[in-house]
């Protein structure tokens, strides 16, 4: 326990300490809100010591449904969090200078515990914020709560809420992954096992931060492009950005028009999903789907394109109507 650290553990402890200082000055988390009446979206950014983004607009909207006003002075976390982050930054630097394993182990264990407690505190705040509503509010929906997701997506009335780390959050998570890797390595596990364990942890973390496609709530969700309610379960689409923001559509025509409009640069689109015509509600990647275009389909906005996961399903349906097979690449050109 009192032995010196390996050179890589010592240097990475210093790196962790230095980059943690950055977390104090950049947003740690963000909650994005989208709705038909706010096509450009609203964003709430949570820093170590303040809130930023569309705070006033969000407070104005939340007033109607009885949610408390977001006031920085109500959060004791904004007072102590910068000092706690500064403490861990200093601890990383001291670990480098002292160069003893016992100090590194203490640094790593305290940091991971702090991360767990911080996420629980964030969840507790979201729960309280979304459940303790003013019963005299202008809009009261019996049994309805407005708790934002801890991470990922959640539909709140006509608003889609997306909650993910921001720059500071990704730095904070990255430091945690580095410390876990070094912790395993310093315990003298076999190198291959250490790498495998760290890789699995990284994959799990990345998976937990990825929302993937979200089920379309037919009859409730609105098309981002035409603003119509998505009601026909045979048609529909989703665009997912590289920041895991999701846009939903009721027709291939709408999703193609949206992509060509440049509202979201093509370089920022991570994936596009289409509803399987033969399996209502099922989503399939657009580039992997088999598409049939026919006037007889009569899709909601006249795109008249049906998507299928399996080629045989498309061919079987093609025999019933007069239609042509097309590719996703042809549609978006």
Residue 227 maps to a domain: no
Residue 83 maps to a domain: yes
**DSSP run (H or E) holding 23:** helix 7-23
Same-domain check for residues 164 and 97: yes
Asked if 205 and 278 touch (Cβ cutoff 8 Å), the reply is: no
Same-domain check for residues 42 and 186: yes
Same-domain check for residues 245 and 174: no
Integer Cα distance of 173 and 80 in angstroms: 19
Integer Cα distance of 207 and 201 in angstroms: 10
Same-domain check for residues 244 and 196: no
Q: Is 84 helix (H, G, I), strand (E, B) or coil?
A: helix
Q: What is the DSSP letter of 276?
A: B
Number of domains, the chain: 2
Asked if 248 and 219 touch (Cβ cutoff 8 Å), the reply is: no
Same-domain check for residues 88 and 16: yes
Radius of gyration of the chain (CA): 24
DSSP 95-154: HHHH--HHHHHHHHHHHHHHHHHHHHHHHHHHHHHHHS--TTSS---TT---PPPSSEEE
Residue 215 maps to a domain: no
Residue 33 maps to a domain: yes
Q: What is the DSSP letter of 68?
A: P
Its sign, for the CA torsion 228, 232, 235, 237, is positive
Same-domain check for residues 250 and 201: no
Residue 232 maps to a domain: no
- Please name the residue that has the structure tokens 């689109």: 269
pLDDT at position 208: 46
Same-domain check for residues 42 and 159: yes
Integer Cα distance of 18 and 38 in angstroms: 39
Domain boundary among 160, 187, 208: 208
Q: Which domain holds residue 109?
A: 7-208
Same-domain check for residues 27 and 154: yes
Same-domain check for residues 152 and 282: no
Report the chain's terminal Cα–Cα distance, integer Å.
62
Same-domain check for residues 198 and 245: no
Residue 185 maps to a domain: yes
Residue 214 maps to a domain: no
Same-domain check for residues 268 and 305: yes
Q: Where do the H-state alpha helices sit in 155-251?
A: 167-186, 191-208
| Tokens at 37, concatenated | 């009446």
Its sign, for the CA torsion 119, 124, 130, 134, is negative
SS (H, E, C) 251-275: CHHHHHHHHHHCCCCHHHEEEEEEE
Residue 43: CB atoms within 10 Å: 19
Q: Which residues of the chain have pLDDT under 70?
A: 1, 188-212
Same-domain check for residues 155 and 263: no
Asked if 303 and 251 touch (Cβ cutoff 8 Å), the reply is: yes
Residue 201: CB atoms within 10 Å: 15
Asked if 90 and 168 touch (Cβ cutoff 8 Å), the reply is: no
Residue 202 maps to a domain: yes
């Amino acid at each position: 326990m009192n032995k010196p650290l390996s050179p890589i553990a010592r240097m990475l402890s210093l790196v962790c300490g230095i980059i943690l200082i950055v977390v104090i000055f950049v947003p740690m988390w963000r909650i994005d809100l989208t709705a038909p009446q706010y096509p450009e979206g609203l964003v709430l950014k949570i820093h170590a010591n303040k809130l930023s983004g569309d705070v006033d607009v969000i407070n104005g909207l939340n007033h109607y449904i009885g949610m408390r006003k977001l006031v920085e002075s109500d959060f004791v976390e904004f007072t102590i969090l910068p000092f706690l982050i500064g403490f861990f930054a200093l601890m990383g630097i001291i670990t480098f200078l002292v160069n003893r394993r016992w100090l590194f182990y203490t640094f790593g264990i305290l940091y991971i515990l702090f991360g767990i407690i911080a996420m629980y505190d964030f969840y507790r705040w979201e729960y309280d914020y979304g459940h303790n509503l003013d019963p005299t509010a202008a809009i009261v929906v019996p049994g309805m709560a407005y708790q934002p997701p801890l991470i990922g997506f959640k539909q709140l009335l006509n608003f889609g809420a997306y909650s993910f780390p921001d720059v500071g959050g990704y730095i904070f998570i990255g430091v945690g992954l580095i410390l876990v890797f070094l912790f395993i390595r310093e315990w003298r596990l076999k190198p291959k096992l250490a790498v495998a364990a760290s890789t699995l942890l990284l994959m799990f973390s990345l998976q937990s931060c990825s929302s993937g496609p979200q089920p379309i709530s037919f009859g409730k969700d609105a098309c981002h492009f035409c603003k119509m309610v998505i009601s026909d379960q045979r048609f529909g689409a989703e665009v997912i950005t590289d920041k895991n923001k999701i846009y939903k559509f009721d027709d291939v025509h709408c999703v193609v028009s949206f992509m060509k409009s440049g509202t979201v640069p093509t370089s920022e689109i991570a994936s596009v999903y289409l509803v399987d015509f033969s399996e209502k509600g099922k989503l399939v990647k657009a580039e992997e789907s088999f598409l049939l275009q026919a006037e007889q389909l009569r899709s909601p906005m006249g795109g008249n394109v049906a998507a299928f996961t399996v080629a045989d399903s498309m061919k079987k349906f093609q025999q019933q109507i007069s239609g042509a097979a097309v590719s996703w690449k042809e549609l978006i050109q």
